[in-house]
Amino acid sequence: MRDLIVTENITLDGVVDASAGWFSVVDEADQSDLLAALREQSDAADAVLFGRVTFEEMRGYWPKQTDDPTGVTDYLNRVEKYVVSSTLDDPAWEHTTVLPGDRFQEELRTLKASPGRDIVTTGSITLVQALVGAGLVDEYRLFLYPVVLGRGARLFADATEVPILRLVETRPFRSGIVLLRYRPT
């Protein structure tokens, strides 16, 4: 059985909305240890799951990168991608399958039961909140940034359906970001 991993960049006050540009607070810091952790995650996964909006943002950016020292471009171009959408017909990105929005949960359960490595989802907050509510998340990997915004979309905006979580790892990085890994009990 494959694990579904939710990976989010998150502020100290729980905001995951990246539109305010708060990722840049660590741009000047040495991020080699953080990039190594992201490569570990990529090596352990053979599929990525997106909601339609995040997918379209990723598709519009990553395939066009020609000089990406992070390896994200190569990874996203070769990995199996799944996008949940009720409106998208042609994903126009190699190795992409559209999961119909009206039955994505059953399709995802089937995918999780198939042979393979981890399935990772990132961004896609509406999708992630639906996955949390459906009990489909096997692990949360939260990259906690040393930022407080006070506003914006939160990962656990409606915390009524969040299971009790058990901390399985903390890993600080030189940039001040901390990885917090949790699994439902």
Domains and CATH numbers, the chain: 4-184 (3.40.430.10)
Name the least confident of 20-24, 42-46, 83-87, 138-142: 20-24
Tell me the per-residue pLDDT of 109-157, one tens digit each, with 9 for 90 and over. Answer: 999 999 999 999 998 999 999 999 899 999 999 999 998 988 888 888 7
Phi-psi region of 85 (alpha: psi -120 to 50; beta: other; left: phi over 0): beta
Calculate the average pLDDT of the chain.
Answer: 91
Residue 35: the pLDDT is 87
Residue 112: the pLDDT is 96
Residue 24: the pLDDT is 72
End-to-end CA distance of the chain: 17
Q: What's this model's pTM, rounded to 2 decimal places? A: 0.92
Q: What angle do CA 57, 76, 169 make, to 5 degrees?
A: 100
Task: Indicate the DSSP class of residue 149.
Answer: -
Whose tokens are 């914006």? That residue is: 152
Q: Supply the Cα-derived Rg of the chain in whole angstroms.
A: 16
